[in-house]
Structure 1
């Protein structure tokens, strides 16, 4: 069900944006962006709304490919992944109990319990931010206050596409992340859109309305590709503002990626 936890997203000039080819890895990133860009532009022309795609090979310090005009906005329930990792690391048995519904069903009450297990809002925000930093995202500030009273504080964290996929790229390499990654492979049937197009994908979605009621739909995950594992972040803000249109568009993006799986940059944890 749509969660009560995307708000206004900021748009930027169109794709692709990639790291400069100052190293073999960066050169490969540039080649991937060049290969995918034309095909993406064809797909983009059929989608009514703002869209963003970010791709990186799994592994610490991975280079990032970004496509599309959507660049940053509220994390919504995608932030439940680092939140659950932070809580499980505390060692409280209740964290494991709450993590299951928070990840597989995007249960907001369970996520709030995970947040509370971490301590006061400032302490909880730091614990989640520490997980992000450990995965290479050193710029995201986890929201500790309820900026929109009807939604969680952490769900309103402004999380950019590039930093989100950087986190996802290091996710399989993080200590004590394995139980949460396993849960990302057991997503409830009604939330199996987008990256579920990849066999064996581990992913988590997030969605919610901006102040005008228009939905943002996001997803982060790790998928298998011919060259290893690939981290992917997707975001769509349909012109209609409809959640259903958002999930349809994000599924179109994911389906397009499956058709280009041989071109996706793959990696492994070192």
Structure 2
């Protein structure tokens, strides 16, 4: 296997196809992980590598030529799009393992992820605005927002949807009778989340605004030209309506509110997390608040 990789590496240096080389590298890396990782983890690594390669802006330089600055720029852009810290860490872990493998094969001189502090890229959860503060800001700013913009913003803070889940949401997933919404994750998981009355009212207004009743397969967030909204549209809209918060900030505030109500297992299910460990991270803000109160009185 190593001789094959080296042969393809020199083929790329002499003008070969970057994409062919990259796909072979990814396949060899995933094959190597079969001895130590679960099949679901390997599948997740494969999706992460494919996503990073496909979503790269500009001409793709190839894995062996990707620099630290380019990787840092990618993760900063992802954070600005409203991607959660957990997702950023997961993708970073995948890339670290992948480049460690490339180092072992002698295909790169160093791991380009060395020196990138993902806590700084993603931001600290303890400093994020709380649910009540964000809701007050949204209620104030939503007076100047369109109906579509209000629906998008409230869907995030009232259900904890991720940006990708929000964009893909169809009318068939909204159950007005049961006051529930079926959220379909990018990893094919599904979860039901309750819809408060105020959000149901906004969704009803949006549905009535259609010239013809929307079908179950039509996207909820659709522009006037009939196209679904983009990630950049969601990012700009949420920032403006919320007074500067990102979609990830709103999702965090929603989940943190549920955790504060001593419903960690509910928060885990509503968040779509696979483990309670991921959800427990939302308790960090509570610990910081307790420390401040302790220092104040003692």
TM-score normalised by structure 2 residue count: 0.27
Structure possessing the higher radius of gyration over alpha carbons: 2
Higher relative contact order (CA 8 A, sep 6+): 1
TM-score normalised by structure 1 residue count: 0.29
Q: Which has the higher strand share?
A: 1
